[in-house]
Amino acid sequence: MDISSIIITAIFVAVCTIPFVLIGRKNKKKKKEKLQSLINIANQQNATISKSEVLSDYVIGMDEVKKQVFFFKKTKDSVIEDYINLADIKVTKVKNTGRAVAYNNSNQSIIEKLELVFIPLDKNRKEIAWEFYNSDDSSQLSGELQSAEEWSNRINESLRN
């Protein structure tokens, strides 16, 4: 192999890999910014995030010592920053809103909205729902269902202890 072939191959490899590296850096930066937004919400409550998860457009975290849960979501139209003190909560559940469609002689379930719902101890207070997924904002699920179920289980376990 002569030097010109090596140079051409190196340039070709660089041109093909640079976009992936740039996209990876951009995604990592966005993830870090979302996590920092969640940490800022926790700091306002004198709390420390001990567990967290960052997905496509939201981040959720928990202070296991103070039993508080924090949520940050940024969409095209809005920014949601919220926290809940688990001392005021009875239980959480995943609310899956969808519809059935016929496909290949069977009914398929389509998820349109996915929420983590907090049911308060005080029956006079309204339920609090954090939206993990909305089909109006995103065309397909990317781990939101598993995330909502995992966080519901984690929070309910914390409420039992």
Burial 83-122 (b: 16+ CB within 10 A, else e): bbebeebeebbbbbeeeeeeeeeeeeeebebbbbebeeee
What integer pLDDT is reported at residue 137 of this predicted model? 76
Is the pLDDT confidence value at 14 over 90? Answer: no
DSSP state of 108: E
The pLDDT tens digits for 66-116 are: 999 999 998 878 888 999 999 999 999 999 887 777 777 777 777 888 999
Question: What residues does each domain of the chain span?
Answer: 3-160
Residues 115-138 have pLDDT tens digits of 999 999 988 999 999 999 888 877
Quote the pLDDT of residue 104: 76
Please spell the DSSP secondary structure of 17-85, one letter per residue.
HHHHHHHHHHHHHHHHHHHHHHHHHHHHTT---SEEEE-SSEEEEEETTTTEEEEEEE-SS-EEEEEEE
